[in-house]
C-alpha cells in the first residue's frame, strides 16, 4: 500500500505583517511546486483574508490557529468554524499547548472545537502533549491518551477525519526536541489508540511538533509513525521551511 504523502504545517503563532506575509509566500510558492508532500500555513486570524488570496493558486493550504467552541452568539472576540470556511480555511489547530496553558482550555473544550471544525468541513489538527514534570513522572502515555480520548469520544465515526499532533510541551519554543525514538514511542501509542477507534487509523496523519527544524526534520520523519510536522519558529523562515518540505517530499 502506498504511503500517504507527509503533511507539513507551519504555525506562525502571533507573528506576521502584511508586507512580510506577501514576501514569504512569494518565496515559498516559487520553490514549492512539484513537491510530493502536503503543506499548510496556520496564520493569525487577522491575516486570513490576505493569505486566502496569496495562497489561492498554490498547493499550500490555509489554516487557522484556533476556532470557537460555539457556532454563533454573544462571544466577543471569538471566530466560528463557519466564519473560517468563508476564507477557504482547510485546517484549524485545536488544543495547542499554549491555548491549554494560557487560556485554560480543557480536554472537553478541545473535543468540542474539533467537533465544530469537522461539522464545517475543516480538518482539526488536535494537539496533545505532556509537560516536563509529567514526562519525568512517567505520565506521558496516560496524559496524551487522556487528551486524545476526549476527542475520540466526542467525535465518534468522524474521528478518521482528524489530524493529530504530538507536541511535548517541554520541547515547544525551548530549542529542546524529543529524540526520534522518543517521538516514535509516543506516536506508536497514539496510533494504537486511533486504531482501536477507527479502521482508517493507518492513514490518519500524526504530526510531530516541538522545535522541529531543518536540521532534525529528516531523522524525525524517518520514524514509522511520524507522518509530518507542526512547525513553529522554522516555518517563519522561508528557506528553512522550504528545505523541510523538500525532506518531507522524499
- State the pLDDT confidence band at 126, using cuts at 50, 70 and 90: very high
What's the whole-model pTM score?
0.96
Averaged pLDDT, 141-155: 97
Contact predicate 128/90, CB 8 Å: no
Torsion (CA) 219, 223, 226, 231 in degrees, nearest 10: -10
Q: Where are the domains of the chain?
A: 7-248
- What is residue 8's predicted lDDT score, i.e. its pLDDT? 98
Residue 167's SS3 state is coil
- Supply the mean pLDDT for the chain: 95
φ, ψ dihedrals at 206, nearest 5°:
-120, 110
Torsion, CA 161, CA 162, CA 163, CA 164, rounded to 10: -140
99 pLDDT exceeds 60?
Answer: yes
Separation CA 72–CA 66 (nearest Å): 15
Q: Which whole number is the average pLDDT over 213-234?
A: 96
pLDDT for the residue numbered 174? 79
Q: Would the pLDDT of 85 be above 70?
A: yes
User: What pLDDT shows up at residue 3?
Assistant: 67
**Which are the catalytic amino acids?**
96, 167
**Predicted pLDDT of residue 11:** 98
Q: What are the pLDDT digits (tens) for 102-121? A: 999 999 999 999 999 999 99
| CATH no. for 7-248 | 3.20.20.70
Q: Tens of pLDDT along 1-53? A: 346 899 999 999 999 999 999 999 999 988 887 778 999 999 999 999 999 99
Q: Which long-range contacts (CB under 8 A, 24 or more apart) does 14-21 make?
A: 14/44, 15/44, 15/236, 16/43, 16/44, 16/47, 18/47, 18/50, 21/47, 21/50, 21/51, 21/54
Amino acid at each position: 500500500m502506498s504511503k500517504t504523502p507527509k503533511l507539513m504545517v507551519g504555525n506562525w503563532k502571533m507573528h506576521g505583517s502584511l508586507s512580510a506575509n506577501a514576501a514569504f509566500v512569494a518565496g515559498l510558492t516559487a520553490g514549492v511546486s512539484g513537491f510530493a508532500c502536503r503543506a499548510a500555513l496556520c496564520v493569525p486570524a487577522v491575516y486570513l483574508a490576505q493569505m486566502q488570496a496569496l495562497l489561492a493558486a498554490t498547493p499550500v493550504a490555509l489554516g487557522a490557529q484556533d476556532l470557537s467552541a460555539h457556532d454563533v452568539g454573544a462571544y466577543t472576540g471569538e471566530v466560528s468554524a463557519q466564519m473560517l470556511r468563508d476564507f477557504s480555511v482547510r485546517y484549524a489547530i485545536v488544543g495547542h499547548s499554549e491555548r491549554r496553558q494560557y487560556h485554560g482550555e480543557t480536554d472537553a473544550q478541545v473535543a468540542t472545537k474539533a467537533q465544530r471544525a469537522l461539522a464545517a468541513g475543516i480538518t482539526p489538527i488536535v494537539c496533545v502533549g505532556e509537560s516536563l514534570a509529567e514526562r519525568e513522572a512517567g505520565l506521558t502515555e496516560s496524559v496524551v491518551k487522556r487528551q486524545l480520548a476526549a476527542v475520540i469520544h466526542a467525535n465518534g465515526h468522524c474521528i478518521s477525519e482528524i489530524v493529530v499532533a504530538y507536541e511535548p510541551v517541554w520541547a515547544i519554543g525551548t530549542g529542546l526536541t524529543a529524540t526520534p525514538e522518543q517521538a516514535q514511542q509516543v506516536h506508536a501509542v497514539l496510533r494504537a489508540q486511533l486504531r482501536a477507534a477507527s479502521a482508517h487509523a493507518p492513514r490518519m496523519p500524526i504530526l510531530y511538533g516541538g522545535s522541529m527544524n531543518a536540521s532534525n526534520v529528516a531523522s524525525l520523519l524517518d520514524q514509522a509513525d511520524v507522518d509530518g510536522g507542526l512547525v513553529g519558529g522554522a516555518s517563519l523562515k522561508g528557506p528553512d521551511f522550504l528545505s523541510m518540505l523538500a525532506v518531507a517530499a522524499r
